[in-house]
Structure 1
Amino acid sequence: MDDLLIEGARLWTGGPLRTIHVAGGHIVSVTPEPDRRERSADVAAGTTTVRLDGRLVFPGFVNVHAHLDKAMLAARVPDETGTIDEVRRTMARAKSSFTHDDVRERAARTLDRCIRHGVTAVRTHVDVDPTVGLVSLRALAELKKEYEHAIDLQIVAFPQEGIEEFPGTEQLLRQALADGADLVGGHASIAAGTAELRRQVDMVFALAEEFDVDVDFHADFGITEDYGREVTRHRDGRDYPDNLGAVHIAERTVSAGYQGRVTVGHLCGLDMVAPALRANVCDLLRTAGVAVVSTPASNLYGNGRGDAVGARRGVTRLTELMAAGVDVAVGTDNIRDAFNPWGNTDLIQNAVIASLACHLVTEQDFMTMLELHTTAPAKIMGLAGYGLAAGDEASLVVLEARSLADLLDGDVARRLVLKRGRSVGPPPPAPLEVCGGPLPGVAP
């Protein structure tokens, strides 16, 4: 039996207490909290009832931008300066020692932490290049199957060191896609100039079209480049900074007919573009159906270290993108590695950091930021029926907090995590009131 009634639930969007009926891995109904006398008459025999007493219920958290192959390397691969160039060199060397078992162990440990934090879906970029080959990708492919009971895992074949810049990478990306990678990635920030940038974007789209997979780029991480030095008028009659990778990605998306299938991560350089040009870029991204994933925690860690005065932090213009109608979300990026030694799997903590970094300061702003860690990234990942409405997948997390104020005060303990209606992860230290039988669960 997997029928489950969750009573006394305070939905994350507010309002009166609700009863959530779960069966067959989906939400059957979300109804006003009934009178206790009515409740006993409505419960079918064998149904398990969980009483929340007003605790907050969220859709399962979604991390749409992570690097599980590098996770948990901070102690082994320390970073001395924090500069992006040094970290890239350090990590490039570290990959030569990666083994299947090493990647698998670190990534599994990270996924276990994700589950404890109520994360039920992750998109991970996995390095594919001549140094590491397909070692990391194959380890993550094993974990995708092993953890499917608890987490939807999407794997992006990612050329961290570039494609033309590291000969042999294109062939390995093709093999990774043939072996079942879910998406192909690009690293437009690695390109030496505008011509190289355009060639890499074109190569990534050619692979995407060949294998009919979606695309997820890293683009415009840098903040030192003069994004206004090459401004030209394009076919739509608008001016754009041509050395901003997002511009060519958006235009190539349209020419490939890939609207709704492309994501751009980071986009730090947008913060360095003049307001009028920024508005053009935001509108272009919306028109092209390109989603943007911001990673404020890692961008704050890595950017602006060379600025003696007025350190630039390189967090993309999230509010302007949202106002323009671009689909946006927020991810963690790196988790306890040299790119961000402090990164972790707690998306509530990530939401607080991102809200501060993006100047989202009201309670409604924070609700929006929580949406950017749940339903918004689920949409980008193509997870249909993800939320807390009737018919949605019953992937949800119950927190100790009973209000948004409690949440901000630190009552963030996860009391229950469900994936498709079944309990996952370790039992909470203070169990909820459960009646009528054990919680539907699944052994890892």
Structure 2
Amino acid sequence: MFIVRNAKLRGKDNLVDIVIENGKFKEIGENIRGEFKEEIDVNGNLVSPPFIESHVHLDATLTVGTPRYNESGTLLEGIEIWGERKKTLKKEDIKKNALETIKWLIANGVLYIRTHADCTEESLITVEALIEVKEEMKEYVDIQIVAFPQDGVFAYKDMDKLMEKSIKMGVDAIGGIPHVEITREDGIKSIEYIFHMAKKYNKLIDIHTDETGDDQSRFLEVIAKYTLENEMNGLVTASHTTAMHNYNNDYASKLIGILKRADINIVSNPSSNALIQNRLDGYPRKRGHTRVDELIQRGVNVSIGNDDIMDPFAPLGKGNMLQAAHLLAHMAHLSSNEDILNLFDMITINGAKSLNLKDYGIKLGNSANFIVLDAKDEREAIRLTSDVLYVFKNGKMILKTMPVKRCLIIQDKSYNIDFKI
């Protein structure tokens, strides 16, 4: 049994102490007395539930430039390059890159990851590799795997059979990408198939949806329809939905109301969407993300993913959820006090809802999974993209960070610069 002292919890004015015993939160309160094996004083810093990576591709991560760079920066060229790489994939390479990226994510405070695994690779070593990684890392991070048909379910012969095979291998959710199917009819057919498989195998759904600037790409309404018909409210996620940015306002308003009714989860991927979308616009260039502000205002659950971390689709990234939230604040005009709090929700509790997590949050009896940030509150954390000082998994410390110290010398006088006010 140990205690964390002087913790700042979200929504609380006073600092509290947190007692952890047998990997669970046992007591939370002010000035707790008793004998403890260890005491950690966090000096008023923000203690939060872990960050959640709602959308990433661990099978492709850290492969930028292999076999070539994405010179156009478009989604379609990224798919072409990944298709070329699939011909020479080795399970050992996938696992090595995935494991390294997971370490980055943990160091950035992430303890829950939803990763998409390409299930149109004929040998399915992509799926096999990530299932093995999930098992090997389960003591340190919880991973959900989505069977993701990168090339479409019906765009090529027998892709649907590969998809079902990957489901039987033990994935957690079923994905899709209807906007890359050859026709709109095939896109709708793929959505029907995804829901059929989800019901058959009792899986969650997470579909790459309308990831384009084309205002005629309107598969999100179809997903909402099948969610309602199958009574899967709250169990379905639509990732990206960037075409919504370009819809006319009357249609978008109607659609958002339907999304709320169906309790669809939306994942915005600000880094990759900012890089990839609207490349063909010329000027003026639209912002390549979904209508985050309007979705939030109407009560739709929105979370954030990094999507691509140094892969054929986007060459940058280090798995930092605060960095993603910081970028979305600028891209989506989210700058009010309430907006900043919403952004923090999007990388914590909203992500937990998208992943359908049950044992999440700093509550008595829950598993003691939490992080300590080098920040006094959510606003400071997002503004500074603050370091994660501690990461605890089931009450066990798995990361400790020594913050950077900057000593500025002006006229022989030293100043400690930490950018805090």
Q: TM exceeds 0.5?
A: yes
* Partner SS, residue 340 of structure 1: coil
Q: CA deviation at 1:198?
A: 0.9
Any runs of at least 4 consecutive aligned residues in structure 1 with deviations exceeding 3 A, and if so which? 403-406
Going from structure 1 to structure 2, the CA distance change for 1:308 and 1:211 (only over 3 Å counts) comes to same
Unpaired stretches in structure 1, ≥5 consecutive residues: 228-242, 432-444
Question: Using the alignment, how far apart are the partners of 1:350 and 1:342 within structure 2?
Answer: 12
8 Å contact from structure 2 (residues 153, 181) kept in 1: no
Question: 1:293 aligned to 2:260?
Answer: no
* Partner SS, residue 311 of structure 1: coil
Q: 1:57 aligns with which of 32, 47, 52?
A: 47
Going from structure 1 to structure 2, the CA distance change for 1:254 and 1:27 (only over 3 Å counts) comes to same
Q: Hey, what does 2:94 align to over in structure 1?
A: 103
What letter matches 2:237 in structure 1? Answer: T
Question: 1:91 aligned to 2:82?
Answer: yes
8 Å contact from structure 1 (residues 266, 293) kept in 2: yes
Question: 1:429 aligned to 2:402?
Answer: yes
Question: 1:279 aligned to 2:277?
Answer: no
Q: CA deviation at 1:121?
A: 0.3
Q: CA deviation at 1:411?
A: 6.7
Question: 1:211 aligned to 2:211?
Answer: no
8 Å contact from structure 1 (residues 298, 343) kept in 2: no
Question: 1:358 aligned to 2:332?
Answer: yes
Q: CA deviation at 1:348?
A: 0.8
Q: Hey, what does 2:153 align to over in structure 1?
A: 163
Question: Using the alignment, how far apart are the partners of 2:235 and 2:77 within structure 1?
Answer: 33
8 Å contact from structure 1 (residues 5, 22) kept in 2: yes
Q: Hey, what does 1:439 align to over in structure 2?
A: none
* Partner SS, residue 424 of structure 1: strand
Q: Hey, what does 2:58 align to over in structure 1?
A: 68
Q: CA deviation at 1:305?
A: 1.6
Q: CA deviation at 1:204?
A: 1.1
8 Å contact from structure 2 (residues 115, 144) kept in 1: yes
Q: Hey, what does 1:261 align to over in structure 2?
A: 235
| TM-score, scaled relative to structure 2 | 0.92
Q: CA deviation at 1:406?
A: 4.2
Q: CA deviation at 1:134?
A: 1.2
Identical aligned residues as a percent: 26
8 Å contact from structure 1 (residues 400, 411) kept in 2: no
8 Å contact from structure 1 (residues 98, 132) kept in 2: no
Q: 1:115 aligns with which of 91, 106, 123?
A: 106
8 Å contact from structure 1 (residues 184, 216) kept in 2: yes
Question: Using the alignment, how far apart are the partners of 2:315 and 2:387 within structure 1?
Answer: 23
Question: 1:202 aligned to 2:192?
Answer: yes
Q: CA deviation at 1:194?
A: 2.3
What letter matches 1:300 in structure 2? Answer: A
1:344-379 CA-partner distances (Å, limit 9, x unpaired):
211111110111111101233112101100111112
Q: Hey, what does 2:23 align to over in structure 1?
A: 25
1:153-199 CA-partner distances (Å, limit 9, x unpaired):
00001000001102222111111111111111111121233212111
1:203-257 CA-partner distances (Å, limit 9, x unpaired):
111111221111110010111x242xxxxxxxxxxxxxxx401000110111122
Question: 1:347 aligned to 2:345?
Answer: no
Q: Hey, what does 1:244 align to over in structure 2?
A: 218
Q: How many residues align?
A: 403
Question: Using the alignment, how far apart are the partners of 1:403 and 1:62 within structure 2?
Answer: 18
Question: Using the alignment, how far apart are the partners of 1:244 and 1:370 within structure 2?
Answer: 29
Q: Hey, what does 2:142 align to over in structure 1?
A: 152
* Partner SS, residue 87 of structure 2: helix
1:251-288 CA-partner distances (Å, limit 9, x unpaired):
01111222221110000111111112111111111111
* Partner SS, residue 379 of structure 1: helix
Deviates most, 407-416 or 293-302: 407-416
Question: Using the alignment, how far apart are the partners of 1:351 and 1:388 within structure 2?
Answer: 21
Q: CA deviation at 1:404?
A: 4.4
Deviates most, 357-366 or 246-255: 357-366
Q: CA deviation at 1:409?
A: 5.3
1:70-106 CA-partner distances (Å, limit 9, x unpaired):
0001143421120222111111111111111010000
Question: Using the alignment, how far apart are the partners of 1:271 and 1:404 within structure 2?
Answer: 27
Unpaired stretches in structure 2, ≥5 consecutive residues: 405-421
| TM-score, scaled relative to structure 1 | 0.87
Question: Using the alignment, how far apart are the partners of 2:231 and 2:321 within structure 1?
Answer: 33
Q: CA deviation at 1:405?
A: 5.5
8 Å contact from structure 1 (residues 214, 262) kept in 2: yes
Question: Using the alignment, how far apart are the partners of 2:12 and 2:62 within structure 1?
Answer: 36
Question: 1:178 aligned to 2:165?
Answer: no
Q: 1:16 aligns with which of 14, 19, 22?
A: 14
Question: Using the alignment, how far apart are the partners of 2:63 and 2:170 within structure 1?
Answer: 26
* Partner SS, residue 99 of structure 2: helix
Q: CA deviation at 1:402?
A: 2.6
Question: 1:43 aligned to 2:3?
Answer: no
Q: CA deviation at 1:125?
A: 0.3
8 Å contact from structure 2 (residues 55, 267) kept in 1: yes
* Partner SS, residue 309 of structure 2: coil
8 Å contact from structure 2 (residues 235, 356) kept in 1: no
Q: 1:316 aligns with which of 286, 290, 311?
A: 290
Q: Hey, what does 2:279 align to over in structure 1?
A: 305
Deviates most, 160-169 or 21-30: 21-30
* Partner SS, residue 321 of structure 1: helix
8 Å contact from structure 2 (residues 118, 149) kept in 1: yes
Q: 1:125 aligns with which of 116, 120, 132?
A: 116
